[in-house]
Structure 1
Amino acid sequence: MTVLQESPWYQDLNQGEIKGLISGIELGLQLKFGSEGLHLMSEISQIKDLEVLTAIREGIRTKNTLEEIRQIYQADE
């Protein structure tokens, strides 16, 4: 599996998933929290962990404040 993860093809696929998740998160934050939600994007766009990005995307549906969203990814630091 390590050889596969190091392949350029896998890296491109992973980068595509990351970009898609970040784009979805940005849209979700803007729709739910307005322009205030977009202030988190400078932090979120630095995250490269697919699991954390997926948790953030899912959290947009269930969390009620930007601080709750921030806690999702700051818990892993």
Structure 2
Amino acid sequence: MQYMTSFERITRIEGLLEAIELGLELKFGASSLEVMDEISQIYDIEQLRAIKEGIKTATSIDELRQIYQSSTTENPPEN
């Protein structure tokens, strides 16, 4: 994997979080955004990508939660 600076990593995480938020709102409605408090605690880019992709096939918020609750959350990136 290519080296990524802290700034690039944070920018990528923010972009994925925005995409997840939009996907949740479009698919499940504004009330689904409460799950963003949980998702925004995730700092693993691959896990965030999996959540973003999971929105496409998930039929409920609980189904989507299974994607990220089965693994541990990493510590935030250091500056």
Tell whether the structures are fold-level matches, with TM greater than 0.5.
Answer: yes
Letter in 1 for 2:59: N
Aligned with residue 67 of structure 1, among 30, 49, 62 = 62
Q: Which residue is 1:20 aligned to?
A: 15
Task: Please identify the structure whose Cα radius of gyration is greater.
Answer: 1
Higher relative contact order, structure no. (Cα contacts within 8 Å, ≥ 6 residues apart): 2
Percent identity of paired positions between Structure 1 and Structure 2: 49
Task: In structure 2, list runs of 5 or more residues that go unmatched.
Answer: 73-79
Please provide the CA RMSD for this pair: 1.3
Distance in 1 of aligned mates of 2:31 and 2:52: 16
TM-superposed CA distance for 1:35, in Å, is 1.5
TM-score, L = length of structure 1: 0.86
1:51 aligns with 2:46: yes
Distance in 1 of aligned mates of 2:16 and 2:64: 15
Q: What SS does the aligned partner of 1:64 have?
A: coil
TM-superposed CA distance for 1:63, in Å, is 0.8
TM-score, L = length of structure 2: 0.84
Moved over 6 A (4+): none
Aligned length in residues:
71
Letter in 2 for 1:22: L
TM-superposed CA distance for 1:36, in Å, is 2.1
Task: In structure 1, list runs of 5 or more residues that go unmatched.
Answer: none
